[in-house]
Amino acid sequence: MSVLRITSTTDALVAELRERILGGELRPGEPIPELALADKYRVARPTVRAALQSLVARGLLIREHGKSARVPVLTVEDVDDLFFMREPLELHVVTTLARRGLSRADADRLLSGLAAMGPEASWADRVEAHTDFHVGLVDAVGSPRLSRAYAGVHEEMQLCLAQLQSTYPGPTALLDVHRRLLDAIRTGDPEQARQEMTDHMKGARDAFVAQN
């Protein structure tokens, strides 16, 4: 039986379900009945309902009237639209950072989460570290408005990456990809940085399409 170890039972259940979603255990389109969760975690139905509502609000679950919550099914069109929004924003970010300069210490800080992942780290933990990297890259520009705009796609980014585990089979695969991106930025050549970011996003998009 699963055991929750966080003080707030609702928060604990949110964290547990979020990890199962990002780790790929709860698959897109799979119903998540309230009663089954209440039985599994030995919590009251209102606690389950509150946890599910929190995840729906964050975009990690969807719920239609009278039906069980479920993980959203991202279509190729959804992912194309996600990258349509991300591409100009993140290309602007790497262009700015290449022109401005990015120190080795700042690059190491951005990579620290991915670098700290041992071979035993779960895919959900790697997805979180991946998001932290991209958020940190955007935040490094120093524009609060840019950071707020980017915050709107975090959860969909995670849902997309949650389905790409087979694309990064090695324990350092995500680290290696993002280190190459930072190396391109640190050349100081905006075009090289833009090309690496373009290739980075295209690779993720193509991998998603290939398995859907």
The full 3-state SS of 30-91, as one line of letters, equals CEECHHHHHHHHCCCHHHHHHHHHHHHHCCCCECCCCCCEEECCCCHHHHHHHHHHHHHHHH
Alpha-carbon gap, residue 205 to 106, rounded angstroms: 27
What's residue 168's pLDDT? 84
Q: Check residue 109 and give its pLDDT.
A: 95
Alpha-carbon dihedral 182, 127, 135, 54, rounded to 10 degrees: 180
Residue type at 113 in one-letter notation: G
Task: Provide the residue ranges of all domains of the chain, joining segments of one domain with +.
Answer: 9-70, 76-210
72-110: per-residue pLDDT in tens?
Answer: 999 999 999 999 999 999 999 999 999 999 999 999 999
Q: What is the pLDDT of residue 71?
A: 93
pTM (two decimals): 0.85
pLDDT band at 5; cut points 50, 70, 90: low
pLDDT at 2 over 70: no
28: helix, strand or coil: strand
Q: Indicate the helix (H) or strand (E) that contains 102.
A: none
Counting Cα atoms < 13 Å in the Cβ hemisphere of 32 gives 31
> φ and ψ at 121, to 5 degrees?
-60, 140
35-60 tens-digit pLDDT: 999 999 999 999 999 999 999 998 89
**What pLDDT is attached to residue 75?**
92
Cβ-Cβ contacts under 8 Å for 132 (sequence gap 6 or more):
113
Q: Which residue spans within 63-202 are E strands per DSSP?
A: 69-70
**Candidates 1.10.10.10, 1.10.357.10, 1.10.3470.10, 3.40.50.2300; correct CATH number of 9-70?**
1.10.10.10
Q: What distance in Å separates the CA atoms of residue 144 and residue 150, rounded to the nearest whole number? A: 10
Fill in the amino acid letter for 19.
Answer: E
Q: Is the pLDDT of residue 212 over 90?
A: no
Task: Provide the 3-class DSSP secondary structure of residue 11.
Answer: helix
Pairing of strands 69-70, 31-32: antiparallel
Who has greater pLDDT, 7 or 33? 33
What is the per-residue pLDDT across 144-198, written as a single tens digit (0 to 9) for each? 999 999 998 888 899 999 888 888 877 788 999 999 999 999 999 999 999 999 9
Task: Taking the CA atoms of 145, 149, 150 and 154 in sequence, report the sign of the dihedral they define.
Answer: positive
Confidence band, pLDDT 50/70/90 cuts, at residue 119: confident
Alpha-carbon distances of 191 from 28, 74, 96, 154, rounded to whole Å: 37, 31, 11, 26
Question: What confidence category does residue 24 fall into, taking pLDDT thresholds of 50, 70 and 90?
Answer: confident
Q: How confident is the model at residue 187, as a pLDDT?
A: 96
Tokens at residue 178, please? 């993002």
Pick the CATH number of 76-210 from 1.10.10.10, 1.20.120.530, 2.30.30.100, 1.10.3720.10: 1.20.120.530
Q: Give the pLDDT confidence score for residue 3 in this predicted structure.
A: 58
Beta carbons of 63 and 69 less than 8 angstroms apart: yes
